[in-house]
Amino acid sequence: MYTKENILNALRMVSHPEKGSDIVKLGMVGEINVTAEGITLVLVPEKSNDPFLSSIKSSCVRAVKEH
């Protein structure tokens, strides 16, 4: 079963390619919701046009599934 804490732990494995730090430390993870239907989380990029946002989203999904 997923909890907010183990999701955050998984997301600590996701680094921003340009910044070199994990997205949790960078403050990019907003709200996390865990329900019977699934998990939703809000990413808060520093810039709305961050060119790495798509790859970060994919990395988040992969990290949570593998954790």
Mean pLDDT by 10 residues, the chain (67 residues): 95 96 98 95 94 97 95
The DSSP result for 27-61, as a single string, is T-EEEEEEETTEEEEEE--SSTT-TTHHHHHHHHH
Domain locations along the chain: 4-66
Per-position b or e across 13-44, b if 16+ CB within 10 A of its CB: bbbbeeeeebbbebebbeebeeeeeeeebeee
Within a 13 Å sphere around the CA of 16, how many CA atoms are in the beta-carbon half?
Answer: 20
